[in-house]
Amino acid sequence: MKTMLTSLLMILLTHSAYATEWKLISETEEKDKTVSWYVDMGSIVREEDYLRAFLRTSWSVPQYGPDDVPYQSSTYINYFDCSTGKIAYTGNAYYRTTEPAGKPLHQEPEHPVEKLKFQPVRLGSAGEERLRFVCKFRSKNFMTQRPSSSYLG
């Protein structure tokens, strides 16, 4: 019994150590839907010349992928080149509900940074909001190591 309680306690402590702390970055309201962008505050790290962060987009109404399966949120890794104002995406996962829970409906692998295509953000776009928000942490010395756990399930 004591061993089982110890194991349960270890699982709970481990789970809470890797809990995602979603912070709303921006939100847009279109005619028929609201789109919200979040960042996991604990995931913002410096990696080489970039900042790397785990992000989430949620839609108030279902979106449909190429296979016509509805989803309402996606999570992904963003690399931010704060010097040039460019962003690269990788490791997308799509979920049925607005909260990324359970097994993803579809998942794309994470690629190494040297294989990513960095794209400039458009002025006034959600990409610019994400870039501006995350790049505020550019000079923070305490965020220099990539987390050891995978965010993609």
The CA-based angle 146-58-96, given to 5 degrees, is: 100
Q: Is residue 141 part of a domain?
A: no
Please state, in angstroms and as integers, the Cα–Cα distance from residue 76 to each residue in 9, 14, 32, 72, 153, following that order: 30, 22, 24, 14, 11
Q: Is residue 140 part of a domain?
A: no
Q: Is residue 41 part of a domain?
A: yes
Q: Work out how many domains the chain is built from and give that number.
A: 1
- Domain holding 31: CATH number? 2.40.128.710
Query: In terms of Cα–Cα distance, which of 104, 129, 106, 105 is closest to 53?
Result: 129
Q: Is residue 148 part of a domain?
A: no
For residue range 96-131, what is the model confidence (pLDDT) as tens digits? 999 999 999 999 999 999 999 999 999 988 899 999
For residue range 15-40, what is the model confidence (pLDDT) as tens digits? 334 578 999 999 987 888 999 999 99
Q: Is residue 26 part of a domain?
A: yes
pTM for the full predicted model? 0.76
In the predicted structure, residue 61 carries a pLDDT above the cut 90: yes
Q: Is residue 38 part of a domain?
A: yes
Q: Is residue 143 part of a domain?
A: no
Q: Is residue 16 part of a domain?
A: no
Structural domain boundaries, residue 96: 21-135
